[in-house]
Amino acid sequence: MEDDRDTLRILVATDCHLGYMEKDEIRRFDSFEAFEEICSLAKQKEVDFVLLGGDLFHENKPSRSTLVKTIEILRRYCLNDLPVKFQVVSDQTVNFPNRFGHVNYEDPHFNVGLPVFTIHGNHDDPAGVDNLSAIDILSACNLVNYFGKMDLGGSGVGQIAVHPVLVKKGTTTVALYGLGNIRDERLNRMFQTPHSVQWMRPESQEGLSVSDWFNILVLHQNRIKTNPKSAINEHFLPRFLDFVVWGHEHECLIDPQEVPGMGFHITQPGSSVATSLIDGEAKPKHVLLLEIKGNQYRPNKIPLMTVRPFEYAEVVLKDEADVDPNDQASVLEHLDKIVRNLIEKSSQPAASRSEAKLPLVRIKVDYSGFSTINPQRFGQKYVGKVANPQDILIFSKAAKKRQTTTGENIDESEKLRPEELNQQTIEALVAENNLKMEILPVDDLDIALHDFVSKDDKTAFYACLQRNLDETRKKLNSEAEKFKIEEEDIIVKVGECMQERVKEISLRSKGDTGLASSTQNLQDTIRGKSVAAESSLNTFSDDEDTRELLLGTRSTRSTAGFTRPSKDATGAARGGASKRGSGKGSLKQTTLTFSQSRSSAAIRSEEVDSSSDEDAANEVNEVVENSDPEDSFPQSGRKRPAPRGRGRVTRNYGAVKRR
């Protein structure tokens, strides 16, 4: 591998968590110093590019200070006159689905000497109506190449196609697959649903066969199997892979490990900054220098020297001979002795570090049979000696071991992860209260609630509603081209479509594999005999949403340059092309404002009541609401004139006249 012309050199790192503890006076720069060291190592080792495995940012909406520091570091190390010695030979508009659609070093207006390729993690994943991530900001600045961003689309299991970035340097060819973070439960179901995840293989080219490509996958998911449904099993991944970079797990397991029976190796670089003071984070932090030539690779782990030292210990008080349960002073003296030893231990290898830093110290204390101690008061004496004096101690009790059906004893404390505690999902609330979701799917609401709370996404619920409305009007559009729908039936059809989607998604979540797709089932339902609506349509916030309810567009996109594996080729376009989307034309514009003979006021909501799922509704109560209570339309009496400037639906569906 001495020939540099054919050797591709990649520096691999994951979970930089830029901006972590940015308001802490001692630890605010830790994440940036580690990231700058990573970029400095890339420059020193003369790598071809840097590969990041997600969670570049700690917050979904990083602060201005964090964004400025990140851009400064990338600009300092990535923009230079050094030549880029590899080529991207795949369809870049598919790999980088942004406005520019090409790798950043090919932009003639920028001198990019160190390309950076990154996916998103669970901390900096896309959110909002426009589905944008903080990494999109760096991508728009032409500082990083953001790939692995999937459009799941709609509800239910969903379907994705993973296209590789094809990199070529001399005779070495690498297919780089990226899969940004997807909710573990959903991705787990997708892997177990046939043809939901399609891996696109490179086409055979002149002098190159599919087997000549070295296949790398970088992903960001749970790997620890505390709950099989909330983690991704390595055996879900395709066997043609050669190397897997696994992000999200912070424990540094940098040495590649072979997965039995799968034929590929997995490296877990871990985080570059300690965000959880647990045993796994106390291991030395490393990055990986990966050298690839042909179909062989050589890993070289490089320790990070700017990382703040972290010492961890566990103490069981009842097992200590010099501790008296009735004498708290003896407990304090024993814990003080342990802390002093850890501080002294952390200062020993300081000569190899760039500069001396206050260490992080964490002691997990099993206080069974003892009384607790105030951690803040205990840490006051270590201010200026450790970086975390307020939380040196964490108390726990020995968990009872329960016996499984197989006779294996499982420690309850090992079953829980910090991020899984004190979390309640909408699915659990609905199940506990025996509720029935009739308008919006439970899975969509659960995702919207998570985005609203965890990512401070104020538009999460609006995006959830808008996405369901978009799918509903697509169904109506497909039927409008075949059947004549009277204006009186529009609301009923909307209720039917949305209710069928909820039923279908609930069946999918229970593992019903008999449902091929929600689109086909909805079409079959509407083509059959008309069923009266059984649910209430949500109230729209303004007339614009109502006016655009039945407005939609269809698009057809095609991607070339790849062929699917034979086992996943069902439904794929032949000849190396994959097409997504179908249909022609666009949905005709209309409104939900009825003619004067019925009601000239704009409809804000339409409530349709039903007694049960089995009975067709016999009565349809139409309620016309306005923003002012005193202007509400009476149930009987004279009719109000229609507001000026509003469109009215004529008898010919799809034609709108404005007066």
CA separation for the pair 320, 434 (Å, rounded): 51
Collapse the DSSP code of 463 into the 3-class scheme (helix H, G, I; strand E, B; otherwise coil) and give the result: helix
CB distance 110 to 78 below 8 Å: no
Of 131, 115, 135, whose CA–CA distance to 123 is shortest?
135
- Structure token pair of residue 426: 């909408």
- Annotated catalytic residue within 17, 123, 250, 286: 123
Q: How far is CA 388 from the centre of its chain?
A: 30
Alpha carbon 352 to chain centroid, angstroms? 38
Cα–Cα dist 563/163, whole Å: 10
For 638, the token pair is 């004279």
The amino acid sitting at 557 is: R
Q: Which two tokens stand for residue 173?
A: 């060819």
Instruction: Give me 161's structure tokens.
Output: 């196609």
CB 270, CB 248: distance < 8 Å = no
- Strands of 304-390 (E only): list them: 310-316, 360-366
Residues 6 or more apart in contact with residue 213 via CB below 8 angstroms = 166, 173, 174, 175, 202
Secondary structure in 3-state letters for 527-587: HCCCCCCCCCCCCCCCHHHHHCCCCCCCCCEEEECEECCHHHCCCCCCCCEEEECCCCCCC
Say which amino acid occupies 462: Y
Helix, strand, coil content of the chain in percent (nearest 5): 30, 20, 50
| DSSP-assigned beta bridge partners for residue 216 | 176, 243
Alpha-carbon gap, residue 401 to 145, rounded angstroms: 48
Residue 658, beta-bridge partner list: 647
| N-to-C CA span, the chain | 76
Stated as kind and residue range, the H or E segment containing 507 is helix 490-509
**Whole-number Å distance between alpha carbons of 21 and 273:** 10
- Strands 557-560 and 577-580: what pairing? antiparallel
Q: Give, as one character, the DSSP assignment of residue 249.
A: -
Is residue 250 annotated as a catalytic residue, yes or no? Answer: no
**In contact, 599 and 639? CB cutoff 8 Å:** yes
For residue 227, count other CB atoms closer than 10 A to its CB: 15
Residue 60, Cβ density class (10 Å: 0-12 exposed, 13-18 middle, ≥19 buried): buried
- Measured in degrees and rounded to the nearest 5, phi and psi for residue 142 equal 65, 30
Q: How does strand 165-169 pair with strand 172-179?
A: antiparallel
324-331's contacts with Cβ under 8 Å and 24+ in sequence apart are: 325/369, 325/370, 328/371, 328/373, 331/370, 331/373
Burial class (CB in 10 A: 0-12, 13-18, 19+), 135: buried
Token digits of residue 113:
């000497």
H or E segment at 451?
A: helix 442-454
Strands (E), 386-501: 393-396, 401-403, 409-411
Residues with a catalytic annotation lie at 123
